[in-house]
Chain A
Amino acid sequence: MTAPLTAGANPFQDRETGRRLIARIGEKLDRLGATERKPVRLMEICGGHTHTIFRHGLSGVLPAGLEFLHGPGCPVCVLPMGRIDDCVAIAEDPRVIFTTFGDAMRVPGSKKSLMQAKADGADIRMVYSPLDALELARRNPDREVVFFGLGFETTMPSTALTVLKAEREGIANFSLFCNHITIIPTIRAVLDTPGMMVDGFIGPGHVSMVIGLKPYRFIASQYDRPLVVTGFEPLDVLQSVWMLLDQIDRGVVEIQNQYARVVPEEGNPQANAAIDAVFETRPFFEWRGLGSIDESGVAIRERFARFDAERRFAVRSPAVAEPDSCQCGGVLTGTVKPWQCPLFGGACTPESPVGALMVSSEGACAAYHQYGGLRKGAA
């Protein structure tokens, strides 16, 4: 049995195959008559793909007739300031140990980030897994341990299973501040954006591992756009670009799976069962830069109320206006490029982010800043 993912050379990064794929993509673009002025525009929804595209310089090596649009699939990037303010308020309660993934530490709130709150004395701890937060609760029965749950369907099963574990063990001092969001309403919001320019979607790999392929079918049937679920190696992305161009070339619109080694067509039933058990759809959820999107977030079901930090602490979720001139919303929907934002690279940098897209390495602005320089045409 071969083990393609063992240590050593990664066959999904093979340069020679990549070079040939790029040539094939070029042939397809020529056949389609795509040019720099009239490119085929593909949106990667997931921030992980944004990272792959920039880290491996894919934009720079592909023909000018192809343009990547960087979509709203980085959960850290779309967190509204009001929810960060809630995190800080909870974390500053002296009874609380507040736990979070490291990505969220630098996201600006209206007054401070979690990192600044930690510097000011709040007991905030970075964890690798929600299970680590649960372990902290076991070890500190006299403290309230709150886990900041965020992310799309990829991360939802892990927090749901952690809540179920807390219930089974009768752990009374653990709760979840739930900020999970769902991918399908997000894609629909992009598709409904006036001036939408997306010709096809590079579909998220790890969200799809949980939800499967069926939920995407409306994109083809109702919006006439193709989507290819895609892995995170550079050759995965190149193959998906080729598959999308091939669909456009053949005049078909389908939902395809490039990442079948990890993503089953039907998704993961155990993960979905855990999500359904613990969470229910919120009527709407506020997104940074995109505003309110119907049924785009989940909350903890009544049955698990005692594990819901939103009910256990006075969470206000204040509406906070975006910073002046911040163009995160336009960037997220593919209508504005990061370098077109007046704050980009000046008032807003990875060291001192104003907009959320400058925070995470999966955010389009941070990726442009780190890999693409500050100019137009860099990516």
Chain B
Amino acid sequence: MCLGIPGRIVAITDAEAMMATVDVSGVRRSVDVTCVAPKDGPLDGLVGRWTLVHVGFAMSLIDEEEAKATLAILHEIGEANAEIAAFAGEVA
């Protein structure tokens, strides 16, 4: 029950009530965005952003740069192994 699902904020439906429409794999539903609202300024800046939705609340904006960085590290850890294996193979 503690898992969330990534979705894209597609519209602000009621700024006063902090409600937005979020698209999760083609399914759209109304979601509360209080936890990801900018401190100052309108909610419109959220439109287009990816967010992790948990029980009807947008809980965190998903940082795509961080996601790419994680993938790069994962790739690097994997590749490093391949290099080590190749190096070990050459020596042998």
Q: Output the least CB separation between A113 and chain B (Å).
A: 16
- Report how far A268 CA is from B58 CA in the complex, Å: 11
- Report how far A20 CA is from B79 CA in the complex, Å: 7
CB-nearest residue of chain A relative to B25? A7
- Report how far A103 CA is from B3 CA in the complex, Å: 12
Q: Output the least CB separation between B29 and chain A (Å).
A: 8
Residues of A contacting B10 with CB < 8 Å? none
Pairwise interchain contact A232-B3, C-beta atoms closer than 8 A: yes
Q: Which of A11-63 contact B (CB under 8 A)?
A: 11-12, 14, 16-17, 19-21, 23-24, 27, 46-48, 51
At the interface, yes or no: A1 with Cβ under 8 Å from chain B? yes
Pairwise interchain contact A209-B73, C-beta atoms closer than 8 A: no
Residues of B contacting A17 with CB < 8 Å? 74-75, 78
At the interface, yes or no: A207 with Cβ under 8 Å from chain B? yes
Known interface pairs A75-B1, A152-B2; A157-B59 also in contact (CB < 8 Å):
yes
Residue in B17, B70, B75 with the greatest tally of chain A CB atoms within 10 Å: B70
Residues of A contacting B37 with CB < 8 Å? 270
Residues of A contacting B74 with CB < 8 Å? 12, 14, 17, 21, 235, 239
CB-nearest residue of chain B relative to A268? B35
Pairwise interchain contact A239-B70, C-beta atoms closer than 8 A: yes
Residues of B contacting A2 with CB < 8 Å? 64, 68
Known interface pairs A157-B59, A206-B3; A3-B64 also in contact (CB < 8 Å):
yes
Pairwise interchain contact A268-B56, C-beta atoms closer than 8 A: no
At the interface, yes or no: A339 with Cβ under 8 Å from chain B? no
At the interface, yes or no: B66 with Cβ under 8 Å from chain A? yes
Interface size on A, residues (CB 8 A): 63
Pairwise interchain contact B2-A155, C-beta atoms closer than 8 A: yes
Known interface pairs A151-B2, A161-B57; A262-B35 also in contact (CB < 8 Å):
no
Pairwise interchain contact B34-A76, C-beta atoms closer than 8 A: no
Q: Output the least CB separation between A290 and chain B (Å).
A: 18
- Report how far A262 CA is from B54 CA in the complex, Å: 13
Residues of A contacting B84 with CB < 8 Å? 27
- Report how far A16 CA is from B77 CA in the complex, Å: 12
Known interface pairs A2-B64, A27-B81, A239-B73; A155-B34 also in contact (CB < 8 Å):
no
What class of interface size applies to chain B in its complex with A? 35 or more
At the interface, yes or no: A226 with Cβ under 8 Å from chain B? no
At the interface, yes or no: A330 with Cβ under 8 Å from chain B? no
Residues of A contacting B2 with CB < 8 Å? 46-48, 73, 75, 151-152, 154-155, 204, 206-207, 362
At the interface, yes or no: B80 with Cβ under 8 Å from chain A? yes
Known interface pairs A16-B78, A17-B75; A158-B70 also in contact (CB < 8 Å):
no
CB-nearest residue of chain B relative to A272? B35
- B6-24 CB mask vs A (1 if < 8 Å, else 0) is 1000000000010000000
At the interface, yes or no: B47 with Cβ under 8 Å from chain A? no
Q: Output the least CB separation between B47 and chain A (Å).
A: 15
At the interface, yes or no: A4 with Cβ under 8 Å from chain B? yes
- Report how far A21 CA is from B49 CA in the complex, Å: 31
At the interface, yes or no: A274 with Cβ under 8 Å from chain B? yes
Q: Which of B29-73 contact A (CB under 8 A)?
A: 32, 34-37, 50, 52, 54-57, 59-60, 62-64, 66-71, 73
Q: Which of A93-141 contact B (CB under 8 A)?
A: 101, 103, 128-132
**B interface residues with partner A (beta carbon < 8 Å):** 1-4, 6, 17, 25-26, 32, 34-37, 50, 52, 54-57, 59-60, 62-64, 66-71, 73-75, 77-82, 84-85
Q: Top 5 A-B pairs ranked by shortest CB distance? A: A129-B56, A20-B78, A261-B66, A261-B67, A5-B6
